[in-house]
Amino acid sequence: MAGTDAAPADSATTGPVDRAAWVALAGCLLGLFMQMLDTTIVNIALPDLTTDLRASTSEQLLVLSVYTLAFACTLLTAATLGGRLGRRRVFVTAILAFTVSSLLCGVSQGPVELIVFRGAQGVSAALMSAQTLALIAALFPKARHGLVFGIYGAVAGLAAMLGPVVGGVLVTSDVLGWGWRTIFFVNFPLGVIACGLAWRRLPQLREQPPPRLDLRGMALSTAGLFFLLYPLAVGREQGWPPRLWVMMGASAVLLVLFVVLERRLLARGGAPLLRMDLFGSRRFTVGLSLSLLFFSVFAAFFFTVSISAQFGLGYSPLRTGLLALPFAVGGVLGSVLSPGVVDRIGSARTLCAGALVLGAGLAWVGLTLQPISGTMSIPAVIAPLVVGGIGTGLFVAPLQTAILSDTSEANIGSASGCVPTVQQIGASIGLAVVSLFFFGQVATQAHSAVPATRAELVADLQNTAVEPLFRAPMADRFADCARNQLTSAHPDRPAPGCDGDPSAQSGMAADLIGKANGQLQEAGRAVAARSFVGAFQTTLWALAAMCAAIAVLTLALGSRPGPNKPE
């Protein structure tokens, strides 16, 4: 199989699959696992990383966003390069590059170095990801695509879900004193194994004759996606200055020009970066829309869980990461069940059921929360998180099959770059929208949380050495600081002049804070918990409603006979 320039001869048949194909699939999936793991694993390690490297706010933001930006903006170009240079060659080279760039991230001595190497990671991940679907399609006959694409979807979802768990375990374990650096070093053994499994077992899949590079399409798509995704990544942090709106407007123009150019190039018989004939398939178009919306919800959920747990409830990185474990367990169960469900009711109804089950799980988590007391019971959320994970597994596993069901050998390469691009765009949009909504809800919840906490603080101060004359002013000062912080663009950080550290004060202020430091800290935790848990609950219900909308959209896929029975 190795070294061929096209798909195997039985790619459209039901012939047997040899062991080498399964080994090669394992290599592809391990590469996929690394890519998706690194989309979420850094979030958990960010506080330790920031302290160690002394990263500024803008540098922290770039550490998180540059990977996704480089990933999404390179995918379409990477798919074309794979067809021209050979998909196996590009895939294996990308694994090596990803492994090396991960090691360089781990040994970075400053934030700028880390940002550069994270960008290199993103480009390498795109070069890998853009080949994976085309390689898997070539490895297996058409009749097996439902199974192998289901495994692909399950691994992608599981890796993203496990990112916080793995990150929390690695940071807390502090292996060999490496701390946060282990989240990057862990990619070294994974990359070596993936190369060993994939090398010489994958088809080369080089287009003959090699097409001319669509340089204009590369430039327009890369610039258009960057001008769209960069403002979404940094907009809230920077307060949405006019230049970001200008970039988004320019993005719309560039992407429209890209579509026009690609249509003309295809009509002339050329090799466009994105084959627009793919969108002639209703299942492809609707499937991409489902992917966009679902990964928006998926990214939004994990963002709100992480931010609520760490900044609202004060959880450690490990405890925050472990919150994703029940969801991941449910994801495995849903992925295992998915092929049987598809066989019984068809892929469209399975996707509908998955979206509804996920929505039910998210709504159930919301019902367990107690915003008034600012608490979240871990035992109470385990079952609904498992249910949400089952819904995710049911949905993600058959999604790739539904999207790619109408593709052919002529356009599978273009689809292989388009599908993950849309997923990354969806995740970016989801994060941008949910951050605005969630922090808006934090500010709304603060209007009731601050007065309630202030009243409790006044009562608690009666049991301190603070003189009665100063108790009410101290509570008022606390309320002003809490309100200013929770209604600001950065409710996870103290407002200016409100640090609350006795060592930062002097004279009478330091003396008063020292006498009531324990009560002030407890009040700070309480008001943050109430505001963040309340915002988390409202956001979960909004995401559950989105899942219901996704379930309705799945019906637009239409019916199609499955391998064993009709849909």
d(CA 196, CA 176): 27
**pLDDT above 90 for 94:** yes
- Given pLDDT bands bounded at 50, 70 and 90, which one contains residue 497? low
Higher-confidence position of 38 and 495: 38
Rounded average pLDDT over 245-261: 92
Q: b/e map of 506-544 (b: 16 or more CB within 10 Å)?
A: eeeeeebbebbeebbeebbebbbbbbbbbbbbbbbbbbb
In this predicted structure, the answer to whether residue 547 has a pLDDT above a threshold of 90 is yes
- Is the pLDDT at 477 greater than 90? The verdict is no
pLDDT at 375: 82
Which has more confidence, 41 or 498? 41
Q: What is the mean pLDDT of residues 233-258?
A: 88
Residue for token digits 């058959």?
398
Which range is least confidently modeled, 314-318, 359-363, 528-532? 314-318
Q: What is the pLDDT of residue 513?
A: 67
Please check the confidence at residue 9 and state whether its pLDDT lies above 50.
no
Map out the domains of the chain as residue ranges. 1-214, 216-270, 442-533
Confidence of residue 274 (pLDDT cuts 50, 70, 90): confident
Mean pLDDT, rounded, for 54-73 = 78
Q: What is the mean pLDDT of residues 381-404?
A: 87
What percent of the chain has a predicted confidence (pLDDT) above 90?
16
* 28-37, 89-98, 173-182, 429-438: segment of lowest average pLDDT: 173-182
For residue 551, is pLDDT > 80? yes
Distance CA 453, CA 528 (A): 10
More confident residue, 383 or 450: 383
Mean pLDDT over residues 510-534, rounded?
Answer: 77
Lowest-pLDDT range of 11-20, 51-60, 141-150, 493-502: 11-20
Going by pLDDT thresholds of 50, 70 and 90, the confidence category of residue 514 is low
Region 1-214: CATH code: 1.20.1250.20
Segment 291-296 shows an average pLDDT of 90
Residue 72 pLDDT more than 90?
no
Is residue 194's pLDDT more than 60? Answer: yes
Q: What integer is the mean pLDDT of 60-78?
A: 81
pLDDT attached to residue 311 = 83
Residue 539, CA distances (Å) to 263, 292, 303, 492, 505 in order:
40, 19, 11, 17, 38
Give dist(CA 543, CA 551) in Å, integer. 12
Does 433 score more than 60 pLDDT? yes
Mean pLDDT of 98-106: 92
pLDDT at 207: 66
Write the single-letter amino acid at 241. Answer: P
> Higher confidence at residue 279 or residue 349?
349
> Quick check: 59 pLDDT over 90?
no
Q: How many CB atoms lie within 10 A of CB 159?
A: 24
Q: Does residue 5 carry a pLDDT above 80? A: no
> Mean per-residue pLDDT for 61-72?
81
pLDDT tens digits for range 328-341: 888 888 888 888 88
Pick the most confident of 127-136, 476-485, 532-541, 551-560: 532-541
The DSSP secondary-structure symbol of 503 reads G
Is 60 exceeded by the pLDDT of residue 22? yes
Q: b or e along 115-130 (b: 16 or more beta carbons within 10 Å of the residue's beta carbon)?
A: bbbbbbbbbbbbbbbb
- Could you tell me the pLDDT band of residue 560, with boundaries at 50, 70 and 90? low
Distance separating alpha carbons of residues 171 and 180, to the nearest angstrom: 5
- pLDDT over 80 at 487, yes or no: yes
Residue 174: its pLDDT value, please?
Answer: 73
The 10s digit of each residue's pLDDT in 213-225 is: 778 888 998 899 8
Banded model confidence at residue 469, pLDDT cuts 50, 70, 90: confident
Contact call for residues 22 and 153 (beta carbons, < 8 A): no
Which DSSP symbol is given to 210?
Answer: P
User: Does pTM surpass 0.75?
Assistant: yes
d(CA 127, CA 110): 26
Q: What is the CA radius of gyration of the chain?
A: 25
What gap in Å lies between CA 488 and CA 490, rounded to an integer?
A: 5
